Structure 1
Amino acid sequence: MAFSGIGIVAGEHLTDAVRRAGADHVEPSISGNLVVQGDDGWHRNEAYAGERFGSFALFVPPDLPLLTGEPAVVDGYFQTVLPVIASVAEPGAKIVFGSGTARTAPEGMSDADARARFARVVGVARDTAREHDLRIVLEPLNRSETNLIHTIDEAVRFLDEFTLDEVGVVADLFHVQAESESFDVVRAHGNRIGHVHLSDRDREAPGTGDWPWREFLGAVQDGGYRGSVSLECHWPDDAEPAMTTALAEVRAAVVAG
């Protein structure tokens, strides 16, 4: 298997541990970490000054309702935050658009209305990101996290329905398993995958549970994806040894595959 790098999703407090563990990249979380809110708006956490990253996670804060909020407020968030992200981003960096609470449709909103409203939001995020040489990738989230767009197949159909070109799909094993989505779907939509998140059962580190993460990576590769893979896991208090072991497990599987 060939991927461009194996990294780890992490907040500021784990960044040094991720690097010492030997990850190829750090994937910072955005909301409440890279971007923090002050009395006068959104600002960069200066702990990240001078850094450069190729991907980012946790895009929208849960208290910003994307489907029912004022469009000007929602759009203003993207217009303010995306330049901040760009200030520490590599050219063409990926932003994972999951944000399940923020995108959840309220009771009584029809599915058609929710999808149309979310399509507008994704389009604005995509267009604003493009202005700063950033790319939006949409993450399907399982039903325990949101009521809108749960599988890779559904994400592809949503993007096609609303002609949201240039938006890739995140293949995250945690959500694939929660939704019992076949790895054949991963293979079939391999050309649409824009990013990959990896974990073992219950967001534990690969190699500590019984999930078929090796087979998942094989399906991703079979579909033609060759980009970066980020481990999105729960880590113990002494995170660095666990990260080192997990990275070794994944790299061994990649070489063996």
Structure 2
Amino acid sequence: MNALGVHALVWAGSTSPAEVEQAVRSTKEAGYDLLEFSLHDGLTMDTAHARTTLEQAGLQVACSRGLAPDADVSSEDPAVVARGAQLLSKSLEITAAIGGTMFAGALYSAFGKAAAPLSTAGRNNVIAVLRDLAKQAAEHDITLMLEICNRYETNVINTAHDALLLADDIGADNVKIHLDTYHMNIEEADMVRPVHEVGDRLGYVHIGENHRGYLGSGHIDFTAFFHALADIDYTGPITFESFSSAVVAPGLSNDLAIWRNLWSDGADLAKHAHTYLVNGLSAARHP
């Protein structure tokens, strides 16, 4: 029922043509339906090549990104906000060019621990930029997915409730909520109530362990989470996200503090995760 995806950083640290081919081939071999590319370091992607490679493999594609401090749309500095809006717009065009219909991630702020709470002016800037981005996305039949990140990566939205309020204020039908179990483990009281609260506004899911390693090797209650997804009849994409110092994307790895080698064999990791997801989701539908 759900398209199962994997993050490209399981396979490769860049979006060069050779590494795109490697990621597509490996994703297909591991049994996934969808490949997610981070555009954090990928604005020079050869989009025509990537689209052809994905289409030949029969894979769906999603793109994601966060923002840099000098392009933070939650800033009060108009020049900084403008740079962020331009970066989001360009990233959206790349998503469309490679055949994507989902643009996800922390689209609302820079990565990193903020020095102070989000200001009213900063939040208003986020709303204005994402309203414009949603209009641009609608022209390409793309849905924006607001990924909820932990307090050490953003001060804009940290919980499902925060995200719903922001989406309400943006007020666009093609803005959905993006839950990530790694971040939920830090910020939410449990793995069930946020899923129920978001309900049919859930558009995208990241599955990741509390340490972002092998699924099942940490302490996240995936059984409860899978049951909650079944409760709301979620049929959207579910993408496995894991990071290790074995595969480095210069900008993203540093921003996400990927200092440890949690795995060295991406193929084994991805195949294990695919089996884990298939079995867990199936069991949740047949309690």
Q: Same fold (TM over 0.5)?
A: yes
Aligned-partner residue type, residue 175 of structure 1: H
8 Å CA contact 2:134–2:144 kept in 1: the answer is yes
Partner of 1:40: none
RMSD: 2.6
2:201 to 184, 192, 207: 192
Q: Deviations over 1:170-215 (max 9, x none)?
A: 0111111110333223113211111010012211232222211121
Does residue 54 of the first structure (1) align with residue 56 of the second (2)? no
Aligned-partner residue type, residue 227 of structure 2: G
8 Å CA contact 1:173–1:199 kept in 2: the answer is yes
Partner of 1:88: 98
Distance 1:208 1:238 in 2: 15
- Unpaired segments ≥5 residues, structure 1: 37-42
Partner of 2:84: 74
8 Å CA contact 2:3–2:238 kept in 1: the answer is yes
8 Å CA contact 1:189–1:223 kept in 2: the answer is no
Bigger CA drift: 15-24 or 149-158?
A: 15-24
Displacement of 1:162 in angstroms is: 4.1
1:211-250 superposed matches below 5 A: 211-235=220-244, 236-250=263-277
8 Å CA contact 1:199–1:213 kept in 2: the answer is no
SS in 2 for 1:102: coil
Q: After the TM superposition, which segments of 4 or more aligned residues of structure 1 sit over 6 Å from their partners? A: 103-106
Distance 1:215 1:139 in 2: 20
Distance 1:106 1:211 in 2: 26
Distance 2:264 2:69 in 1: 25
Distance 1:212 1:57 in 2: 25
Does residue 145 of the first structure (1) align with residue 153 of the second (2)? yes
8 Å CA contact 1:159–1:165 kept in 2: the answer is no
Displacement of 1:72 in angstroms is: 4.1
Aligned-partner residue type, residue 272 of structure 2: T
Aligned-partner residue type, residue 220 of structure 1: L
Displacement of 1:167 in angstroms is: 0.7
Does residue 252 of the first structure (1) align with residue 279 of the second (2)? yes
Flag the 1:223–1:32 CA change in 2: closer, same or farther, 3 A. same
Distance 1:237 1:163 in 2: 43
Displacement of 1:103 in angstroms is: 6.8
Distance 2:4 2:69 in 1: 28
Bigger CA drift: 78-87 or 65-74?
A: 65-74
Higher strand share: 1
Aligned-partner residue type, residue 196 of structure 1: V
Distance 1:109 1:199 in 2: 27
8 Å CA contact 2:111–2:153 kept in 1: the answer is no
8 Å CA contact 1:78–1:128 kept in 2: the answer is no
Bigger CA drift: 144-153 or 23-32?
A: 23-32
SS in 1 for 2:110: helix
SS in 2 for 1:4: coil
Flag the 1:184–1:81 CA change in 2: closer, same or farther, 3 A. closer
Distance 2:107 2:37 in 1: 15
Flag the 1:56–1:79 CA change in 2: closer, same or farther, 3 A. closer
SS in 1 for 2:71: coil
8 Å CA contact 1:59–1:95 kept in 2: the answer is no
Displacement of 1:61 in angstroms is: 4.9
- Unpaired segments ≥5 residues, structure 2: 10-14, 245-262
Flag the 1:72–1:143 CA change in 2: closer, same or farther, 3 A. closer
Aligned-partner residue type, residue 5 of structure 1: A
Q: Deviations over 1:132-187 (max 9, x none)?
A: 22111111111011111101111101222343443100011111111033322311
Q: Deviations over 1:70-121 (max 9, x none)?
A: 254333334433222211124xx11113157527796567532221111112
- Aligned length, in residue pairs: 246
Distance 1:256 1:8 in 2: 21
1:29-48 superposed matches below 5 A: 29-33=38-42, 35-36=43-44, 44=46, 48=50
8 Å CA contact 1:103–1:148 kept in 2: the answer is no
